[in-house]
Amino acid sequence: MSTRTVLQEGTAAAEARAAAALTTEELYRELLRRIGEDTMRDGLAETPGRVEKAMAFLTQGYAMDVATVLNEALFEVEYDEMVMVRDIEFYSLCEHHLLPFFGKVHVAYVPSGRVIGLSKIPRLVEMYSRRLQVQERLTTEIADAIVEAIAPQGVGVIVEAQHLCMMMRGVEKQHSATVTSAMRGVFKTQMQTRNEFLSLVRHGGGAEI
């Protein structure tokens, strides 16, 4: 190992120790200083504390898990037709730039003896969206959580979103939308089930698939 590498690693370790000694609020204050702001002016004096609270709220999904969210709201039923919750609003943060992306989630499943309490599906969406995310992973996490929870005949999830990392920076396209889908079980293997789901999404004014 070269002397230069040793020095670089020593510097990185020292910086990590210095950062660990700061509170989260102090880290945000330092960030404001580094972009050239006066952190003591009226408009910014309380900003680091507000940002700390806002980020805690926006990332609260890390403190949640599927079992707690569902809270045993799983019910035995003799029903084997599609169940759909459409137009679930969500807000998340892109893990690449920490900028928001937001939109709607459409979730459907065909039960196999058990169903989920309807209010719990939006709560699942909330849990996964309140983390640093990419839309593709958000889509599959919702689908896979339902598969694991109730082992249905199939699950379909469509997410349509606008990304501020595309609208405010980079290509700056204001009217673009990103649509992702995850199909499991009969939604993947049976065209009739898949088409019924897509038709219901369209009928509700959702994504143009």
pTM for the whole structure: 0.86
pLDDT tens for the chain, 209 residues long, are 666 665 566 677 777 787 788 899 999 999 999 999 999 999 999 999 999 999 999 999 999 999 999 998 999 999 999 999 999 999 999 999 999 999 999 999 999 999 999 999 999 999 999 999 999 999 999 999 999 999 999 999 999 999 998 888 877 777 789 999 999 999 999 999 999 999 999 876 444 44
β-bridge pairing 83-94 and 132-133: parallel
CB distance 117 to 78 below 8 Å: no
CATH assignment at residue 167: 3.30.1130.10
Co-location of 92 and 193 in the same domain:
yes
Q: Cite the active site residues.
A: 94-97, 135, 163, 165
CA atoms of 77 and 79, how far apart (whole Å): 6
Number of domains forming the structure of the chain: 2
For residue 38, the enclosing domain spans: 3-58
In a domain, 136, yes or no: yes
Residue among 161, 155, 160, 159 nearest 197 (CA): 155
Q: How many other CB atoms are there within 10 angstroms of residue 141's CB atom?
A: 20
pLDDT of residue 209: 42
Verify that 133 and 105 share a domain, yes or no: yes
- Please tell me the distance from the alpha carbon of residue 92 to that of residue 100, in angstroms, as a whole number: 6
Domain assignment of residue 208, yes or no: no
Q: Do both 110 and 176 map to the same domain?
A: yes
Assess if residue 209 is contained within a domain. no
The pLDDT of residue 205: 47
Q: What pLDDT is stored for residue 207 in this prediction?
A: 44
For the domain that residue 43 is a member of, what is the CATH number? 1.10.286
